[in-house]
Amino acid sequence: MSDHNEGHLTRISAPEGVSPGTGYHHVVWGTGRFVAVSGQCAFDEKGAVVGEGDPAAQARQVFENLRRCLAAAGATFDDVVKLTYFVTDVAHLPAVREARDAVIPADRLPASTAVQVAALFRPELLLEVEAFAVLPS
């Protein structure tokens, strides 16, 4: 078992008998205040879609929106314990990972789930990401 403990959060990349994940930790837990951030899409502050047809541009906007939502709760990406990715095509995942890696260090990656969906609520949207975080008490 490989663990990484940093104060209020513990991350385990490979529990005994489980193959290590690539780009995430299998288990993350913590103590403190729980924060849930609704799925974020590539909208700017005026509600316009950023990067229509461009998964990299949409992913960057999504992670900026997540950053702003986390900040509203007094949290940062260091506090994130779980990300769920909804993509209209799994081919968009490298762009999502690149945007994620720009804001979350490799040793602090949260648990995560990626799901390919038939569509999001607007056809020009390529991805949506929700986050769960735990703040120290």
Fold that domain 3-135 belongs to in CATH: 60s Ribosomal Protein L30; Chain: A; (3.30.1330)
Interatomic CA distance for residues 9 and 31, integer angstroms: 7
pTM over 0.75: yes
Q: What is the pLDDT of residues 22-72, one digit of tens each?
A: 889 999 999 999 999 999 999 999 999 999 999 999 999 999 999 999 999
Distances in Å between the Cα of 31 and the Cα atoms of 34, 79, 92, 122, 131 are 9, 11, 33, 37, 17
The mean pLDDT value for 126-130 works out to: 98
Give the start-to-end residue ranges of the domains of the chain. 3-135
Distances in Å between the Cα of 41 and the Cα atoms of 46, 51, 96, 110 are 13, 11, 12, 19
Cβ(75)–Cβ(119) under 8 Å? no
- Spatial CB neighbours of 102, under 8 Å, sequence gap ≥ 6: 60, 63
pLDDT of residue 3 exceeding 80: no
Question: How does residue 137 score in pLDDT terms, banded at 50, 70 and 90?
Answer: confident
Considering the chain, what percentage of its residues have pLDDT values greater than 90?
Answer: 88
pLDDT of residue 1 exceeding 70: no
Interatomic CA distance for residues 92 and 123, integer angstroms: 15
The helix/strand/coil state of 117 is coil
pLDDT of residue 128 exceeding 80: yes
- Spatial CB neighbours of 78, under 8 Å, sequence gap ≥ 6: 104, 108
Residue 5 pLDDT: 64
Cβ(66)–Cβ(129) under 8 Å? yes
